[in-house]
Amino acid sequence: IRMLGPLLAAIEAGADMAIGSKVIHEAWRSRPLRRRVATRAYNLLVRVLDGSRLRDHQAGIKAFRREPLRELLPAIDNPRWPWDTELLVAAQACNLRLVEVPVTTTYQRPSKVSLLRQPAEMANEILRLYFAGVRTSRAPRRVPSVTG
């Protein structure tokens, strides 16, 4: 919950959405290798197939300005865990202002993430977005972060 303050500050500074990003936080390298690989692979697929400019889609902490969120939510049709990835890709397609904020996260030992089953599920969901046409513009804009 201590990570919420910087996200709300980004919203107050004018962002439509502020998302936590593990990969831009200094503690990123201390995470277990298998978690870093899984995170990087997921984010790479979303960036390549769906055109996202974000570096981390799944940190789990996000803050939103109310009106843009109300406009986007009815179009999000995924009830499973990647609903927020779909929301973030759609927000970029609508040219909303997204800001990535460095956050740390905790992970459970042993991890409940199956590196056999879940990568296939993740790839399936990213491909579903791709084939559904949920993509951002391919314009090479960089999503800002509070670290520069």
pLDDT in tens, 91-141: 998 999 999 999 887 666 666 666 666 777 777 777 877 777 766 654 334
Task: Express as a percent the part of the chain with pLDDT over 70.
Answer: 79
CA-wise closest residue to 93 among 74, 113, 72? 72
SS3 of residue 39 by DSSP:
helix
Average pLDDT over residues 33-62: 86
Amino acid at 73: L
pLDDT at 148 over 60: no
In tens, the pLDDT along 18-39 reads 999 988 887 767 777 777 888 8
As given in the structure block, the two tokens for residue 88 are 């973030």
pLDDT at 145 over 80: no
Cβ-proximal residues to 18 (8 Å cutoff; 6+ apart), any chain:
6, 7, 8, 10, 11, 62, 63, 64, 98, 99, 100, 101
84 included as an active-site residue: yes
